[in-house]
Amino acid sequence: MKILITGGCGFVGSNIAIFFKKKMKKAKIYSVDNLMRRGSTINKKRLAKYKIKNFKFNIEDRNKFKALPKVNLVIDCCAEPAIEASSKDPDRVFNTNLIGTFNILKKCIKDQSNIIFLSSSRVYSISKLRGLLKNHKINKPLKIKKTINEDFETSLPSSLYGFTKLASEKLIKEMFFKKNLKYIINRFGVIAGPWQFGKQDQGFVSLWVARHILKKKLSYIGFGGNGFQVRDVIHITDVCNIIFHQVKRLNKIFNQTFNIGGEKRNTISLRSLTLKCQKISGNKIKFNRILKTSIYDIPYFVTNNRKLRKFYNWKPSKGINQIIRDIYDWLLQNKMILKYFK
């Protein structure tokens, strides 16, 4: 099998590439990545150890795709994932996330290859997610009553990023219509684990662990600045594992959309994450409180994996404590990486 992973030098893409290479030693795996994101050059070196070649170009450049070999499967991990970039750099978000998808799908049709598309939990409408709570200021720990499944509202605004991912999902269905090609769409929430060069607005778990090791301050942003916002988290190894399951069963299970996350078991607030990072590092750091809430932010998101379990009889294996421990151990074993978190 020949597999192309777009965004292959990013956090998710590089881990998937290496995971698949270990599982499928005879497979030819290629990466496309423009190496613009923090840590991507380090991940390129990791791929090289497994003889995985990276083609350096922007996926919105249609002509560059001509240099790529023919493949049987595309795993599309390429995206501009930071929500706030929706307003700061809309051209970049639109071109990477939608025009890029269009170019990838044209290659799929030319090669007669299937696709597994990594979408996002942020396709769901902001107002409806906020409406799950009465107040926009959170003064105490939240009680999680509702989890989010694939039928949750998507028609209202969700950020330009959310729109481009949802539009890409629709584009896949349109372009594969009557083409006898197969797709899987996975809507992931928060993914975390080793080799994630996290920032405040994307990859916050690794950022929290690193800043505690470094004794550098952080911020609780929005919803009163109390740190009670909640997310569920899934380990990158579990992400790789479920995608591997999907590839293996793609002839039987295809043309489906799945929510994939840590569910209630792996739900954590920023404040709880802080306490866990204090415990594992032995360090207590200072926090800024920023009361203003971004128009794009949501108070909580907890994934419902019920459909995924029904189709694959699968659930995440690693809990939140293991996720934090794995990131902590990775950083201590690769101390030179800590400079990316200062």
What's phi and psi for 195, nearest 5 deg? 75, 20
Residue 269: what residue type? S
Return the HEC string of 176-218: CCCCCCCEEEEEECEEECCCCCCECCECHHHHHHHHHHHCCCE
Q: Which residues of 31-59 are buried (b: 16+ CB within 10 A; e: fewer)?
A: bbbbeebebbebbbeebeeeebebbebbb
Q: For the chain, report the end-to-end CA distance as a whole number of angstroms.
A: 41
279-311 tens-digit pLDDT:
999 999 999 999 999 999 999 999 999 999 999
Q: Is the pLDDT of residue 87 over 80?
A: no
Better-predicted residue by pLDDT, 144 or 295: 295
In the prediction, which pLDDT does 135 show?
65
Domain extent listing, the chain: 2-195+234-262+301-317
Q: What's the pLDDT band for 26 if we cut at 50, 70, 90?
A: very high
In the prediction, which pLDDT does 105 show?
98
Q: Is the pLDDT of residue 201 over 90?
A: no
CA 110 from centre of chain: 27
Outline where the chain has alpha helix (H).
11-23, 40-49, 85-88, 90-94, 100-111, 126-130, 160-175, 204-214, 236-248, 270-281, 306-312, 320-333
The CATH superfamily holding the domain 2-195+234-262+301-317 is NAD(P)-binding Rossmann-like Domain (3.40.50.720)
Q: Is the pLDDT of residue 50 over 80?
A: yes
Average pLDDT, the chain: 95
Q: What percent of the chain has pLDDT over 90?
A: 88
Q: How far apart are CA 102 and CA 60, in angstroms?
A: 8
